[in-house]
Amino acid sequence: MPTPDVLIRDGHAGSTAAIDNIPDLEGFLKSNQGDRVKLPNDVDLETLKLRLPDIKTIVIDFPSFADGRGFSIARQLRKTYGFTGELIADGPLIPDQYVFALQCGFDGVRVDGVTYERQAESHWHDALSAFGVTYQRAYDFKNGPAVSIFDARKTSAAAKDANDPYFGLSAEQSIRQAVQDYNSDLVIASSMGVDSAVLLHMVAQVDKNLPIIFLDTGKHFRETLHYRDQLISKLGLTNVINVTPDRTEVKAKDPQSDLHQTDPDACCDLRKVTPLAGKIHDYAVRVTGRKRYQTPDRKDMPILQTEGEQIKLNPLAYWSAKDVTAYMRKHDLPVHPLLSLGFLSVGCQPCTTRVSEGEDARAGRWRNLSKDECGIHFVDGKWVPIEGKKTLEVF
Cα pseudo-dihedral 227, 229, 230, 232, rounded to 10: 120
State the Cα–Cα distance between residues 323 and 291, nearest whole angstrom. Answer: 11
351 catalytic, yes or no? no
User: For residue 357, how many other CB atoms are within 10 A of its CB?
Assistant: 16
**What secondary structure letter does DSSP report for 187?**
E
Q: 82: number of CA atoms within 13 Å, CB side?
A: 5
| 244-272 as b/e: b if 16+ CB within 10 A | ebeeeebeebbeeeebbeeebbebbbbbb
Q: At what angle do helices 121-131 and 321-330 cross, to 10 degrees?
A: 70
Task: Identify the active-site residue in 104, 267, 351, 374.
Answer: 374
Give Cβ neighbours of residue 252 (< 8 Å, ≥ 6 apart): none
State the Cα–Cα distance between residues 77 and 105, nearest whole angstrom. Answer: 8
Give Cβ neighbours of residue 224 (< 8 Å, ≥ 6 apart): 192, 336, 338, 346
CB 73 within 8 A of CB 41: yes
State the Cα–Cα distance between residues 111 and 267, nearest whole angstrom. Answer: 42
Q: Identify which of 41, 50, 42, 36 has the alpha carbon closest to the alpha carbon of residue 81.
A: 50
First to last CA, the chain: 49
Cite the active site residues: 374
